[in-house]
């Protein structure tokens, strides 16, 4: 955010297709105006966490702060919806800075793809055959064979999403860690994952990829039939999430750890 109060004529509103989000977009743009995203000082996202992730991806290289208001079914990343005093709420909001993961995949045909993930990178079996994976950290083999439905790497911001559903640990937002969490592990049966410094580079090789095909997904971007997947946090990219005082992302993650 700039150091001055945000110009109410320089807000870009985006909304999910949900009727309540579209109606909110009409009311708020009529009240506060609307500018193109590249001219905005702040982007206001109206929807749920899915819309917030899409908005963060769209503006991932811009450095523009994102202020979300919940007009969807899930709103962990969103503020409560209210139309009054929006500019003041934005000005008084607390900021959380997050970094994405960079996923690089090579499929069984040798084709390479790159994608960014704000929440997590996940590898999942594509068929009834369980996946067999080899995990290396900074070039050193750490697990020769993980037999499981898959595995995921979560950021602190994403640790309360899929990672938590897979019984992974919740990470405080300022923790310089990544969560490596198995999905329904069969062997080693007692392995529950690992916490890794967020400066490491991980490589996951798919063993018996023809018999046991695996897909890799960075948030919403899926690549099928992968042979290797490399994952590292991209510290050169920073995204700013804005929350009302007392409801910062740090506080929300802390409350999740105590079941609040």
249 CB-near residues (< 8 Å, 6+ apart) = 77, 96, 98, 157, 173, 241, 243
Beta strands per DSSP E along 48-166:
66-70, 94-98, 101-107, 112-117, 120-125, 131-137, 140-154
The verdict on whether 49 is a catalytic residue reads yes
The verdict on whether residue 21 carries a ligand-binding annotation is: no
Among 143, 127, 113, 136, smallest CA distance to 210 is for 127
Asked if residue 59 belongs to a known ligand binding site, the reply is no
CA-CA distance, 218 to 197, in Å (whole number)?
19
Q: Which of 49, 107, 114, 138 is catalytic?
A: 49
Exposure string for 115-125, b = 16+ CB within 10 A, e = fewer: bbbbbbbbbbb
Annotated binding-site residue? 136 = no
- Asked if residue 157 belongs to a known ligand binding site, the reply is yes
Q: Is 177 annotated as a binding residue?
A: no
Q: Is 161 annotated as belonging to a binding site?
A: yes
3 is an annotated ligand-binding site residue: no
174 is in an annotated binding site: no
Q: 99 is written with which tokens?
A: 């970094």
Annotated binding-site residue? 165? yes
Helices marked H in 61-115? 86-92
62, 65, 81: which is closest to 16 by C-alpha? 81
Strands in 71-111 per DSSP E: 94-98, 101-107
Known binding residue 81? Answer is no
Half-sphere exposure of 1 (CA within 13 A, CB side): 25
Binding residues: 49-50, 119-120, 149, 157, 160-165
Active site residues: 49
Residues making up the annotated binding site for NAD(+) are 49-50, 119-120, 149, 157, 160-165
């Amino acid at each position: 955010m700039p150091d001055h109060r945000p110009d109410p004529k320089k807000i870009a509103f985006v909304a999910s297709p949900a009727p309540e989000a579209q109606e909110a977009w009409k009311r708020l743009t009529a009240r506060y105006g609307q500018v193109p995203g590249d001219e905005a000082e702040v982007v206001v996202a109206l929807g749920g966490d899915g819309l917030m992730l899409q908005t963060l991806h769209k503006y991932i290289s811009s450095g523009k702060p994102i202020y979300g208001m919940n007009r969807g079914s899930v709103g962990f990343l969103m503020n409560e919806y209210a139309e009054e005093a929006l500019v003041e709420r934005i000005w008084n909001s607390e900021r959380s800075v997050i970094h994405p993961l960079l996923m690089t995949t090579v499929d069984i045909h040798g084709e390479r793809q790159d994608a960014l993930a704000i929440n997590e990178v996940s590898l999942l079996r594509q068929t009834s055959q369980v996946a067999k994976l080899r995990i290396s950290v900074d070039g050193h083999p750490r697990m020769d064979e993980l037999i499981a439905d898959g595995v995921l790497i979560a950021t602190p911001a994403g640790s309360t999403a899929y990672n938590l559903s897979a019984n992974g640990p919740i990470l405080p937002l300022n923790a310089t860690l990544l969560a490596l969490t198995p999905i329904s592990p069969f062997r080693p049966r007692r392995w529950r994952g690992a916490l890794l410094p967020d400066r490491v580079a991980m490589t996951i090789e798919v063993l018996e990829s023809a018999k046991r095909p695996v897909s890799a997904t960075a948030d919403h971007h899926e690549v099928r039939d992968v042979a290797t997947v490399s994952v590292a946090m991209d510290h050169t990219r920073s995204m700013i999430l804005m929350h009302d005082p007392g409801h910062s992302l740090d506080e929300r993650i802390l409350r999740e750890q105590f079941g609040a």
